[in-house]
Amino acid sequence: MQRTIFTTPVVNTLLRAFSIGFLKLTGWRVEGALPAHADRSVLIAAPHTSNWDLPYTLMVAFALRLNIRWMGKQSLFRAPFGGVMRWLGGIAVNRAQSTNLVAASAQAIREADGPLQLIVPPEGTRSKTRYWKTGFYYIAREAQVPIVMAYMDYERKISGLGPLFEPTGDVEADMAAIKAFYAPFKGKNAAQFESTDPS
């Protein structure tokens, strides 16, 4: 697996110091820690409502000493920025041909040389949507790794890692429980985040 910003010596140390300092100066609080047995895991990234989510997510990842990878739409990885996006931990996703995305993502986690946390936004888009995609759920099940409920609340300026979620196999009930956890959190564009399904 290619080197990323999180595994580049010296750069990693400098950016961690910068991230901790920036978050502290701007009033953000980072909470939680990744359990040792979840060093390979799938992190839910919610709410996801703004392009600002990426830089803040990277800084929080540095503060928590994570080794994250994230999925983004294919257009983000076009020249001349493709190499930079991959170095930042990005994995290009072709939304029109994503039939093998779950299997490929699970395989990448299983075959990683060391710790790897794959971040997946369940909304699948920054635009307002009521329906959450279940890809993160099936990636975790196929890779046989835990799901970590990561969050970012712009209103209270808190971000971090919540509890682990153990899938029961009842997708509908599990998704309802996960959404209930995220209901109190506010994204940067809070009106675009829906944690409940339409009635």
In tens, the pLDDT along 116-167 reads 999 988 865 444 444 578 889 999 999 999 999 999 999 999 999 999 998 8
Within a domain: 182? yes
> What pLDDT, on the 0 to 100 scale, is given for residue 189?
84
Q: What is the pLDDT of residue 166?
A: 85
Looking at the domain assignment, is residue 195 inside a domain?
no
pLDDT of residue 125: 45
Peptide bond into 198 cis (omega under 30): no
Provide the token pair at 14: 């400098």
The answer to the question of residue 6 being in a domain is no
Under a CB-based contact definition with an 8 Å cutoff, are residues 51 and 126 in contact? yes
- Whether 158 is in a domain gets the answer yes
pLDDT in tens, 65-111: 999 998 777 888 888 888 998 898 988 776 665 557 788 788 888 88
Q: How far is CA 125 from CA 43, 47, 82, 119, 138, in A?
A: 16, 10, 19, 13, 18
What range defines the domain where residue 143 resides?
Answer: 11-190
Span 3-22, mean pLDDT?
A: 95
Q: What is the percentage of the chain residues whose pLDDT exceeds 70?
A: 87
In a domain, 44, yes or no: yes
Q: How many domains does the chain have?
A: 1
Angle at Cα 96 formed by Cα 5 and Cα 74, nearest 5°? 25
Check pLDDT > 80 for residue 54: yes
Which band of pLDDT confidence, cut at 50, 70 and 90, is reported for residue 195? low
pLDDT digits (tens, 9 = 90+) for 30-51: 999 999 999 999 999 888 888 8
pLDDT of residue 19: 98
* pLDDT at residue number 128: 42
pTM of this prediction? 0.84
Q: What is the pLDDT of residue 100?
A: 75
Residue 85 within a domain: yes
